[in-house]
Amino acid sequence: MTSPFDKPTIESRLSVRGVKWHRDASDIIPLWLADQDYPICPELKQALREAVEEEYTVYASDLPAREAMKEKIKRYNSIDVPVDQIMLTQGVIPGMWLAAKHACRPGDEMIVTDPMYFPFFTIADVTQVRKVYWKLKLDEGYKFDIDRLNDLITPKTKLINVCNPHNPAGRVMTKEELKGIADIAVDNQIYVMVDELWEDILNDGRKHVSLASLNPEIADLTLTSWGFSKTWSVPGLQAGYLACTNKTMFESIQAISQGILRGTNNFSKAIAPVICGGKADYWVRDLNKYLQEVRDLVTKRLTEMGDITVPHLEGTYLMFPKFNYGLTSVELNKVLMKEAKVSLNQGAVFGPEGDGHMRILTATSKNIMNEALDRIESIIPTLEKMK
């Protein structure tokens, strides 16, 4: 039987709605947005069907969803958080803003990594907090250098933003790296916002460790967030949580959100028990197995086709290769779009360290991926000439 992950074709993807496949012309293969090409699992489809049949569109409590989340957070993340200290959010991004509003005042400083998922930078800008770059270096395997972080801390540092697994570096933090962050945060009493959206997209048998599970002291300073978007192929439903063991901090976050954020939709609430209850975990296992095969395929082909450095993808389905042709990512993007007919993400949007890189989504079928790679390979002579 064909794997559901192997089924997508260019034609089948063009036949459904969605910004990824329809932003650009139809002859372009889109591997820019972090949106899977895979179907949603049957259990989720069934729960959604039932919610529609029931006309579950009334005002509804979010308690069953939060109870399911509490169990998941205890089982998977080893954090024991009271159910009334879990907030249902529209995805993960509102949590970044709430964390900044809680922890910082205009003129304060927040730590962001460079590179990093760029909405963290936007949040710094809109909250008038100065972003301080914690550099992650390609030639160091994107290790999280704790001494480098320590050197950035000043009396104005109020928030450390952590993305683990990391978009776009593809790293899964080691326990030692997390412990290093925890020690600095606790010693200096700095809040930490942890975006764990990719926590279950892991390669090579890696295990996810949540920062807040390390000890009660760091848990007290940490806001942990997760959402359904990336694992379950439902980014259009916009659902996630913000959780924290510190009641005072949680109440402050609630007060800031009052009247602005109103949880999420009932369809997301309806699938929360399925997602968090573990019954569909087989799907995540199969997904990770397939994704790892695609990662290996992309790593091999990119490395062999030209002067391209491919960081090892430990987690997420976003690869961040560097094209060593002396071009900026804006210039690379132009050639890739015009001549290869492939749209990727420009590395520089993820911070200065990302320039010369392109981010490639790997959550597609091998068939689509091979076609995209053939197209990328075809422009290597052009890139050589531009060197």
Q: Which of 115, 170, 180, 240 binds ligand PLP (CB under 6 A)?
A: 240
Q: Applying CB under 6 A, does 264 fall inside the site for ligand PLP?
A: no
Q: Both tokens of residue 266?
A: 């009932």
Binding mask of the shown chain, residues 106 to 145, with x at each position contacting ligand PLP by CB under 6 A: -----------x----------------------------
Q: Both tokens of residue 312?
A: 């090892």
The least distance separating ligand PLP from the CB of residue 254, rounded to whole angstroms, comes to 19
Q: Applying CB under 6 A, does 86 fall inside the site for ligand PLP?
A: no
Q: Applying CB under 6 A, does 30 fall inside the site for ligand PLP?
A: no
The least distance separating ligand PLP from the CB of residue 90, rounded to whole angstroms, comes to 7
Give the nearer residue to ligand PLP in terms of CB position, either 21 or 325. 21
Q: Is the dihedral of CA 140, 142, 147, 152 positive or negative?
A: positive
Binding window for ligand PLP (CB under 6 A); candidates: 38-46, 88-96, 140-148, 337-345: 88-96
Say whether 339 sits in a helix, a strand or coil: helix
Burial class (CB in 10 A: 0-12, 13-18, 19+), 174: middle
Q: Is the dihedral of CA 86, 89, 91, 93 positive or negative?
A: negative
Give the nearer residue to ligand PLP in terms of CB position, either 197 or 335. 197
Q: Which of 10, 28, 31, 34 binds ligand PLP (CB under 6 A)?
A: 34
Q: Which of 51, 93, 110, 336 binds ligand PLP (CB under 6 A)?
A: 93
CB 48 within 8 A of CB 271: yes
Residues linked to residue 318 through DSSP beta bridges, in sequence order: 361
What's the CA gap between 255 and 261, in Å, rounded? 10
Total of residues contacting ligand PLP (CB under 6 A): 13
Give the nearer residue to ligand PLP in terms of CB position, either 245 or 264. 264
Q: Applying CB under 6 A, does 193 fall inside the site for ligand PLP?
A: no
Say whether 360 sits in a helix, a strand or coil: strand
Q: Applying CB under 6 A, does 167 fall inside the site for ligand PLP?
A: yes
The least distance separating ligand PLP from the CB of residue 237, rounded to whole angstroms, comes to 9
Using the structure block, give the residue that is written with the tokens 């090892």.
312
CB 158 within 8 A of CB 103: yes
Give the nearer residue to ligand PLP in terms of CB position, either 340 or 344. 344
**Which amino acid would we find at residue 287?**
L
The least distance separating ligand PLP from the CB of residue 199, rounded to whole angstroms, comes to 10
Q: Applying CB under 6 A, does 197 fall inside the site for ligand PLP?
A: yes
Q: Applying CB under 6 A, does 92 fall inside the site for ligand PLP?
A: yes
**Which amino acid would we find at residue 167?**
N
What's the CA gap between 22 and 47, in Å, rounded? 28
**Which amino acid would we find at residue 176?**
E
* C-alpha distances in Å from residue 325, one per residue of 68, 357, 386: 49, 10, 7
List contacts with ligand PLP (CB under 6 A).
Answer: 34, 91-93, 117, 163, 167, 195, 197, 227, 229, 235, 240
